[in-house]
Chain A
Amino acid sequence: MSSITGHSVTDELPHDDGRPPLDADKAGTGRLGDRIFGGLATGSGIFVIALVTLVGVFLIAQAVPSLLNNNANFLTSREWVPSGTDPRFGIVDLLWATVVTSIIAMLIAVPLGVSVALFITQYAPSWLSRPAAALVDLLAAVPSIVYGFWGLKVAGDYFQPVAKFTDTVLGWLPFFEWGGRPSAKSTLAFAGIILAIMILPIVTAISREVFSQVPTAHKEGALALGATKWEMIRTAVLPFGKPGVISAAMLGLGRALGETLAVTLLLSALNPSAPFSFSIFGGGETFASRIANDAGEFDSPQKTGAYIAAGLVLFILTFIVNAAARVVIERRKAFTE
């Protein structure tokens, strides 16, 4: 029941018995009911294709006029002044914040999620594995705005000493520099941690499913050769599950890139003249949080177009990541067949 994450590996596996859908066209030819029903079903399928296409077309159509008016380079500028007579806007800062928070989230969530999945499938006593899986899934049921609010009001204060410690020990590296501003809970690092919690269920659920599909023969074979449990996992479970874990990581990344509210509530924006900083203990805005922040003031087509252009970039970004995940899964399919 991994459908809570909206994705399931069983979908990607070949049909259980390897057969294509039952071809019963003979049973259906000619009858009105069949033609209507079949038409409806096909229509729904086509509707889904049309929908995704429309998303792309609409976003492009409305972004292009703004982009043509843009007096700055959309891909290389750090400015964001989308309205007025001299609109100048670019995505560098947004892209940076989006990618940094998502990567931090991945670095935490993937090892943790894989460990939890291994725990559930390999280590947990049988009475615990099912409730344990359900508990981790419940994390996905907490709305993202609640994560943000909790991070802002409760958990954020406990991050202050962590930021201070990292700054003292690793502050000489540009990535970990922190001048005490913005407050620790408003940094990219903390937003990344909250994102990690949010994508943990999806990473765990998918990894769990592939791990549970490891052929028993592989596992017992390893054990019979005298492997310890950990060696069995390393030699039998992990290699089998690798493509699944990679696609889980990609799907988690896709989620993290587009996550809005938790990030919007937490991050402090940079002022327009702030110098670019590589530090993860800096502020910034992601694509999604910038759009959400200004959603109340879309008052001219020029300005709306600029935000839609930002949304388009986000769409393309997640599209690439998700498509890549899909490719990995397809290749695994070919491999196991």
Chain B
Amino acid sequence: MSTLTTVDDATAPQTRVDGSFGGKSSGRAFKDQLARVVMWTAFFVALIPLVWILAATFVKGGRMLLDIDWWTVSQSGITARREGGGAVHAIQGTLIQAGVTALISVPIGVLTAVYLVEYGRGRLAKAVSFMVDILTGIPSIVAGLFIYALWVTTFNFQRVGFAVCLALTMLMIPTVVRSTEEMLKLVPNELREASYALGVPKWKTIMKVVVPTAFSGIVTGILLGLARVMGETAPLIILGPYTPVIATNLFDGLMPTLPTMIYQNYPESLQPSVDRTWGAALTLILIIFILNLLGRFIGRFSKVRS
């Protein structure tokens, strides 16, 4: 992701010869300055919400995270008006669901990318690529509705954690496909040719040469995709309502998560509940940011770069 900065402020010509742009007038210089000011302002305006959200969440929710209970106990038996309890049930639920979602979507996503880059040509490849784009654009609530239509109304199953994972999988597959595809395309063809020349079969070439070369980049893409689905709430509201107790079985009963914990508590105006909601929001942001940073960090080690 090298940014082109060949035209730098310092090197830009300060005095200009009269050319097709006409003489240097104060009007043009003014416009130029104005544009500069506008761009800088736009950047700072864009940062306001980020800083504001982070500051608000830290100030209002930070206290909750300092309590050891937050990380060790659930909300079982704690009602909105009572202080105490923790968020471990929701943290666990979020991590378990994210883990299982990754487990399902990574193989499918990576294989689809391998198909697109290494095998695909012709109509089918075009169709797959198009469908991946459509999948990228599917609103998360529609993904939730689809799984509901499949899991609950068609198969008559209960709403369980695994159904949530399926919905999240739909949202994660396209991000994994796109980022992996990008990385695989960057692997030089010379590497493949060298491998084939040594008589290595195609599948081994892909597994032992192409994928390992792009490995860090693929992992980055996966972590960033995971970070995205972790914050998804809409499918969870439809498929996995909140429950205040620890649940680790994906196939039995409801599984609490951080987003549903926030959703359950957001309208409450009782202080203990409000505090917990901010606490849950902060915890969720922290987990997602850590994944993001981890992803970017690993991305730096990538042997192939755009």
A and B touch in the complex (CB under 8 A): yes
State which residues 135-158 of A face B: CB under 8 Å: 135-136, 138-150, 152-155
Taking a contact as CB atoms under 8 Å apart, the answer to whether A119 and B42 are in contact is yes
Against A, the Cβ 8 Å flags (1 = close, 0 = not) of B269-280 are: 000001001000
Contact partner, A138, options B130, B132, B233, B289, Cβ 8 Å: B289
Taking a contact as CB atoms under 8 Å apart, the answer to whether B178 and A11 are in contact is yes
Q: How far is the CA of A322 from the CA of B271 in the complex (A)?
A: 43
Interface check A115, CB cutoff 8 A: yes
The interface stretch among A85-93, A179-187, A258-266, A271-279 is A258-266
The interface stretch among B32-40, B69-77, B82-90, B244-252 is B32-40
Q: How far is the CA of A129 from the CA of B233 in the complex (A)?
A: 32
Residue of A nearest to B124 (CB): A45
Taking a contact as CB atoms under 8 Å apart, the answer to whether A21 and B153 are in contact is no
Given A226-B17, A254-B137: 13 more A-B contacts, CB < 8 Å: A34-B201, A38-B202, A44-B108, A44-B112, A135-B47, A139-B46, A141-B231, A143-B232, A149-B277, A226-B21, A229-B36, A260-B141, A292-B141
Which residues does chain B contribute within 8 Å of A67, judged by CB atoms?
none
Which residues does chain A contribute within 8 Å of B178, judged by CB atoms?
3, 6-8, 11
Interface check A304, CB cutoff 8 A: yes
State which residues 34-75 of B face A: CB under 8 Å: 34-36, 38-40, 42-43, 45-47, 49-50, 52-53, 56-57
Taking a contact as CB atoms under 8 Å apart, the answer to whether B196 and A226 are in contact is no
Taking a contact as CB atoms under 8 Å apart, the answer to whether B111 and A40 are in contact is yes
Residues of B within 8 A of A (CB): 1, 3-9, 12-13, 16-21, 24, 28-29, 31-32, 34-36, 38-40, 42-43, 45-47, 49-50, 52-53, 56-57, 107-109, 111-112, 114-121, 124-125, 127-128, 130-143, 145-146, 148-150, 152-154, 170, 173-175, 177-179, 181-182, 185-186, 189, 192-193, 196, 199-207, 220-221, 224-225, 227-228, 230-234, 237-238, 241, 259, 262-263, 266, 274, 277, 281, 284-285, 288-289, 292, 296, 299, 306
Taking a contact as CB atoms under 8 Å apart, the answer to whether A258 and B193 are in contact is no
Residue of A nearest to B135 (CB): A52
Q: How far is the CA of A149 from the CA of B159 in the complex (A)?
A: 26
Which residues does chain B contribute within 8 Å of A333, judged by CB atoms?
none
Q: How far is the CA of A230 from the CA of B36 in the complex (A)?
A: 8
Which residues does chain A contribute within 8 Å of B141, judged by CB atoms?
258, 260, 287-288, 291-292, 311, 314
State which residues 56-77 of A face B: CB under 8 Å: 58-59, 61-62
Secondary structure call for the A interface: helix
| Pairs across A and B, CB under 8 Å, 8 listed | A10-B306, A38-B202, A44-B109, A51-B170, A54-B146, A123-B36, A133-B3, A260-B140
Secondary structure call for the B interface: helix
Q: A47-B108, A228-B29, A308-B149 are in contact. Are A112 and B42 (CB under 8 A)?
A: yes
Interface size on A, residues (CB 8 A): 130
Which residues does chain A contribute within 8 Å of B4, judged by CB atoms?
121, 212-214, 216
Interface check A101, CB cutoff 8 A: no
Contact partner, A251, options B21, B124, B137, Cβ 8 Å: B137
Q: A3-B221, A227-B21, A260-B233 are in contact. Are A146 and B12 (CB under 8 A)?
A: no
Which residues does chain A contribute within 8 Å of B53, judged by CB atoms?
142, 146-147, 150
Q: A291-B238, A296-B241 are in contact. Are A45 and B262 (CB under 8 A)?
A: no
Taking a contact as CB atoms under 8 Å apart, the answer to whether B131 and A145 are in contact is no
Residue of A nearest to B15 (CB): A226
Against B, the Cβ 8 Å flags (1 = close, 0 = not) of A115-127 are: 1101111111110
